[in-house]
Amino acid sequence: MNENEEAPTAAEPARVDLAAWCLAACRVATFRAPPWERLVTGPTWIAALLLGHLLLAFGVQRLAIDGPARLYWPAVLNGWAATVLWIWISWIAVRAARQRPGAAPVPDTSVVLTLVMANSALISVAVSLLLVPLLQLLGPLESWPLGARWGVWLLPMMWMLATATGLLWRVIPSAAPRAFAGLVALAAVAIAGWLQPAMFWWPDLSAKTTGTATADEDAATDPGLKLTEAVLAAQPRLIAEALDALPRSEPDRIKVYAVTYAPYAIEDVFKRESAVVAQAMAERFGAGDRTVQLVMNPSTTESLPWATQANLRRTLDRMGQVMDRDKDVLFLHLTSHGGRDGQLAAEAWPLESEPVTPALLKQWLDEVGIRWRVISISACYSGSWIEPLAGDDTLVMTAADATHTSYGCGSRSPLTFFGQALYVDALKDTWSFAQAHARARQLIEVREREAGKTDGYSNPQIREGAAIGEVLRRLERQQQGQ
């Protein structure tokens, strides 16, 4: 070799072109073919995509929770089965494409995998850019309508599935491997979004707006219910004791039998509202020993029976047996998040609990034969309950109409605006539910305006049947004469 010649050097590794990857991800996310020939990837780029995706989920999930939240760090271990599936299906796609005779050049497995991940990251960024201002405008996710919360969770997954499947189909030339790739992609998305979602933050149930907490609340620091042996042994006993303790009706005087139902375990506001309403019924109508509180909350699992469909049904059955159904009045207060579909949200993880609907509640009351009913629903869109429950023998009060949210049901709220206005502020000055509701409407309108509620006045509703009006007026005169 001539001494003036330079020794040959190893070829420098190609550098990742960030602009090319951004363009490719945008094309995949909008169902267009990416520019394969310009894409170069490597372990560092793949690791950066994974880390960025995790950090984005970490931040957006925290913003979605109103008030104190607890970090659940083991969530970083979730979702990796889906990543393994994406690696596998990327390899299968490239292998199937290369095995076909006369196949056109195809990208490496690493390029296909990185494109899938970049597409997922881009969709996550796009959804986050939309979700964050909506959270600031509409409040925490748990206060949204049920359908909107389902949409926030489901639509990005469907977008991710459709675009990733489209990408794989561009690589795979034949029908059978395409169908298989689509099924594996569906499994990967289902694992990441349904079976193993990475939930980094949970509401901190031990924190209170007042800055103080009871001993029970201090213990309730983990998300969900603790299904210990003590809890599982206590629950059947608690509901049996509560129902056995209900006294039978007395002649002459109208008696009020009260039930509170709070099935949303991960926010203390509903537990507190149940206690406040029960206290109001005891103080104003003497319903103390004729009251059953059904509450789903980690701090009450060994002190109050759970708010489940089965327990509510049993409670109504028992009250129908001990009360004078021609004279006495059943008062029922339900408090939780509500949806436009008329379902009262039930959240009791890891316990599976079904939501109560107005049609189901009406069926139970009719079967039991309880005639005089005062039903109070503290939930968003609760006006949708009025028509199914209304009747001559029924008074229905709701925290909102059928098209608006109520207010004050976040984790930082001591009580909902409806519970505070009606059962603390208004009912203390009257024994008339209609008068108290009218006063509560005025208070709620002022307070919502002062709080900056952006989606319009909740517009609480009331419907009084023709027959129950006279019964409630007799009850009012009776209480005034105490």
E strand residue ranges, 62-132: 69-71
> Model confidence over 188-215: pLDDT tens digits?
777 666 655 667 776 554 443 333 333 3
What pLDDT is attached to residue 20? 82
From the list 248, 433, 244, the residue with the least C-alpha distance to 327 is 248
CA distance 178 to 96: 9
Q: What are the backbone angles phi and psi of residue 431, rounded to the nearest 5°?
A: -105, 5
What pLDDT is attached to residue 104? 61
What pLDDT is attached to residue 4? 47
Intervals of the chain under pLDDT 50? 1-13, 205-222
What pLDDT is attached to residue 444? 92
* CA distances in angstroms from 55 to 61, 191, 200, 264, listed in the order given: 10, 19, 10, 29
Give the number of C-alpha atoms closer than 13 A to the C-alpha of residue 378, restricted to the C-beta side.
Answer: 35
Please tell me the chain's helix, strand, coil percentages from 3-state DSSP, rounded to the nearest 5: 55, 10, 35
What pLDDT is attached to residue 377? 95
> Model confidence over 85-104: pLDDT tens digits?
878 888 878 887 777 665 56
